[in-house]
Amino acid sequence: MSYALVKLTDFSVASLDSAIRDLLSALDQESAAVASENDWKVFRDRWMARKNGILTQLNDLWLKAAPKDAKRDVGQRVNEIKAKVEHTVDATQSRIQGGASTARVAAERVDVTLPGIRRPLGAEHPVIKTMNEIVGVFRNLGYSVEEGPEIETDYYNFEALNFPLNHPARDTQDTLFITGQESKPQRDRLLLRTHTSPVQIRSMEKMKPPLRVVCPGKVHRNDAPDATHSPIFHQVEGLAVDTNITFCDLKGTLDHAMKALFGSSVKTRFYPSFFPFTEPSADVQISCIFCGGTGTRDGAPCRNCKASGWIELLGCGMVDPNVYGFVDYDPAKVSGFAFGMGVERIAILKYGVDDIQLFFNGDVRFLEQFA
Q: What is the pLDDT of residue 108?
A: 67
The string of pLDDT tens digits covering residues 151-190 is: 999 999 999 999 988 888 778 778 999 999 889 999 999 9
Q: Which amino acid is at 252?
A: G
179 phi and psi angles, rounded to 5 deg: -70, 165
Q: What is the pLDDT of residue 121?
A: 76
Q: What is the pLDDT of residue 275?
A: 92
37, 247, 279 from 107: Cα distances, Å: 19, 72, 73
User: 212: Cβ–Cβ under 8 A, 6 or more apart, which residues?
Assistant: 141, 142, 143, 144, 238, 239, 240, 241, 242
The burial of 124, by beta-carbon neighbours within 10 Å (0-12 exposed, 13-18 middle, 19 or more buried), is given as middle
For residue 216, which of 136, 124, 318 has the smallest C-alpha distance?
A: 136
Query: Contact 361/225 with Cβ under 8 angstroms?
Result: no
Q: Which amino acid is at 346?
A: I
Where the chain has pLDDT below 70, the residues are 1, 99-108
Query: Contact 290/261 with Cβ under 8 angstroms?
Result: no
Region of residue 41 (phi > 0: left; psi between -120 and 50: alpha; otherwise: beta): alpha
pTM of the model as a whole = 0.67
The burial of 202, by beta-carbon neighbours within 10 Å (0-12 exposed, 13-18 middle, 19 or more buried), is given as buried
